[in-house]
């Protein structure tokens, strides 16, 4: 109990450093003598693991913070300059970065390096343009497309990109872009290790902390995908067309071409249909990936990456459906979702994507080979500002090889993967911009119970994990 109170105190102190006496959230408008000089936004976030299993697999130690400051210039004929910087590190040196083997595990996905030392990055420096019919982006920052965006905790992934789009008629949106570089954020280590389990399917295909790579640094997409010794490539070409002109419905089609590696096509349809003060929320998705040129042949990495993608071939399909109800004024929500993958390989997911309906807090198994996954999710607003969410997902067993720390770098699935998520979120009206979230996750990996035939070591790949996150935006 003493340790739990200490962890809560660490998170609270980490947040309080930046609260000061600010009275409200929202951008600070920079105005002087009637002139507009743009706006500033800031955010401070503290995250702490309260309890976890001491089995060497469940992340058991982690107390981290991130501070963000962004600037957006005034619009000049539709053009704006934007920038954002992040600072991340361990809170008061409280994280154990050298846990006892088989007993503890550092939550490495909270940090930008292996020691938790303070590290910052200018993640966003870009010029944007927008009017009623045209928009454009050039520079560094986040690229909001299905295969280049996912949930982040403290510092996001960032990209060097050029993108332009047009809206020639109401509801129609056409875009074309080129991404040449990527920078790994904090959670990239989780996407690679704890979520991805070294499979290369959860948004990262290379260990971000290996020699020749790193976090909060920009690398050519050739190295991001195939390893630090890979040749440079021209990048990822992204084309899209979407249409929202149908009643309550939006359709979108995306194509992602990675030079000499892969071509991926993603389609989804989303419909929110009014129904007696409620909304019927329906969706369908399809993702297809094929190899291009040499594909993933020559990829660097351990036995699991070699087993999954070493021959260069890519042949993957993902199908998905979702159905749900959204209550009046979003008082409650209830959804069911399903994904199925097939093909001769898993999905080579190197650039941070996560569109699958059945993705949860710590599982993205739908991108693995031959998975049949389903899930249920519901939320309820207890009082204004206080919301509870519960979700359960079942992923079965895939045919994808993964790694288990301290047991084996190449495990075959032996258990049905599943995850239970319980989340409580509080946004007090008295303190605008403050969000306090706590969540509990109970997860079983599909590699749980695998026995290394050489050493006899057996994997305990289960988690019972409680975490606290406090965020203040201003």
* Cβ atoms within 10 Å of 218's Cβ, excluding its own: 16
Would you list the domain boundaries of the chain? 2-473
List all residues 6 or more positions away from 3 whose beta carbon is below 8 Å from its beta carbon.
none
25, 40 in Cβ contact below 8 A? no
- Write out pLDDT tens, residues 37-55: 999 999 999 999 999 999 9
pLDDT band at 7 (very low <50, low <70, confident <90, very high): low
Query: For the residues of 244-261, what is the DSSP string, one character each?
Result: EEETTEEEEEEEEEETTT
Q: What is the pLDDT of residue 378?
A: 99
Name the pTM for this structure: 0.93
Query: Is the confidence at residue 10, as pLDDT, over 60?
Result: no
- Write out pLDDT tens, residues 110-133: 999 999 999 999 999 999 999 999
Q: Give the mean model confidence (pLDDT) for residues 388-405.
A: 98
351, 221 in Cβ contact below 8 A? yes
Superfamily for the 2-473 domain: Porin (2.40.160.10)
Query: Is residue 276 left, alpha or beta, with left meaning phi > 0 and alpha meaning psi from -120 to 50?
Result: left
Is 81 in a helix, a strand, or coil?
strand
Query: Residue 390: beta bridge partners?
Result: 378, 422
d(CA 60, CA 405): 14
d(CA 155, CA 223): 21
147, 256 in Cβ contact below 8 A? yes
- Write out pLDDT tens, residues 274-292: 999 999 999 999 999 999 9
d(CA 74, CA 183): 27
Is 387 in a helix, a strand, or coil?
strand
CA separation (Å) from 400 to 210, 283, 342?
22, 27, 12
pLDDT band at 12 (very low <50, low <70, confident <90, very high): very low
Token output for 393: 């997902």
User: Of all residues in the chain, what percent carry a pLDDT higher than 70?
Assistant: 95
- Write out pLDDT tens, residues 149-162: 988 889 999 999 99
Query: Residue 79: beta bridge partners?
Result: 76, 129
């Amino acid at each position: 109990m003493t340790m739990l109170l200490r962890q809560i105190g660490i998170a609270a102190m980490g947040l309080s450093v930046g609260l000061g006496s600010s009275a409200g959230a929202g951008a600070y408008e920079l105005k002087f003598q009637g002139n507009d000089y743009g706006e500033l936004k800031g955010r401070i976030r503290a995250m702490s693991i309260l309890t976890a299993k001491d089995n060497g697999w469940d992340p058991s130690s982690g107390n981290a913070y991130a501070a963000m400051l962004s600037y957006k210039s005034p619009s000049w004929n539709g053009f704006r300059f934007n920038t954002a910087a992040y600072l991340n590190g361990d809170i008061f040196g409280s994280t154990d970065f050298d846990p006892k083997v088989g007993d503890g595990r550092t939550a490495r996905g909270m940090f930008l390096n292996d020691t938790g030392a303070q590290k910052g990055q200018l993640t966003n420096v870009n010029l944007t343009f927008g009017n009623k019919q045209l928009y454009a982006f050039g520079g560094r920052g986040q690229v909001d497309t299905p295969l280049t965006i996912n949930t982040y905790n403290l510092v996001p992934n960032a990209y060097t990109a050029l993108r332009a789009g047009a809206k020639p008629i109401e509801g129609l949106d056409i875009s074309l872009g080129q991404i040449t570089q990527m920078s790994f954020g904090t959670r990239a280590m989780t996407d690679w290790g704890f979520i991805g389990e070294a499979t290369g399917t959860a948004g990262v295909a290379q260990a971000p902390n290996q020699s020749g790579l790193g976090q909060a640094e920009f690398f050519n997409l050739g190295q991001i995908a195939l390893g630090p010794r890979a040749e440079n490539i021209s990048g990822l070409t992204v084309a899209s067309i979407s249409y929202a002109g149908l009643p309550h419905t939006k359709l979108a089609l995306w194509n992602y071409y990675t030079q000499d590696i892969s071509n991926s096509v993603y389609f989804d349809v989303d419909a929110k249909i009014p129904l007696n003060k409620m909304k019927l929320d329906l969706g369908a998705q399809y993702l297809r990936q094929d190899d291009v040129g040499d594909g993933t042949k020559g990829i660097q990495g351990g036995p699991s990456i070699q087993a999954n993608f070493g021959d260069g071939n890519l042949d993957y399909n993902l199908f998905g459906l979702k159905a749900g109800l959204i209550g009046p004024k979003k008082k409650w929500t209830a959804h069911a979702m399903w994904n199925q993958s097939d093909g001769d390989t898993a999905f080579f997911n190197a650039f941070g994507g996560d569109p699958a309906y059945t993705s949860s807090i710590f599982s993205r198994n739908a991108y693995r080979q031959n998975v049949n996954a389903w899930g249920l999710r519901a939320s309820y607003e207890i009082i204004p500002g206080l919301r509870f969410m519960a979700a359960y997902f079942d992923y079965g067993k895939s045919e994808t090889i993964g790694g288990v720390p301290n047991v084996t770098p190449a495990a075959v699935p032996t258990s049905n993967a599943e995850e239970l998520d319980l989340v409580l979120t509080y946004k007090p009206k008295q303190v605008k911009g403050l969000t306090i979230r706590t969540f509990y996750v109970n997860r079983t990996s599909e590699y749980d119970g695998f026995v290394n035939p050489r050493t006899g070591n057996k994997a305990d790949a289960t988690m019972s994990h409680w975490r606290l996150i406090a965020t203040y935006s201003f």
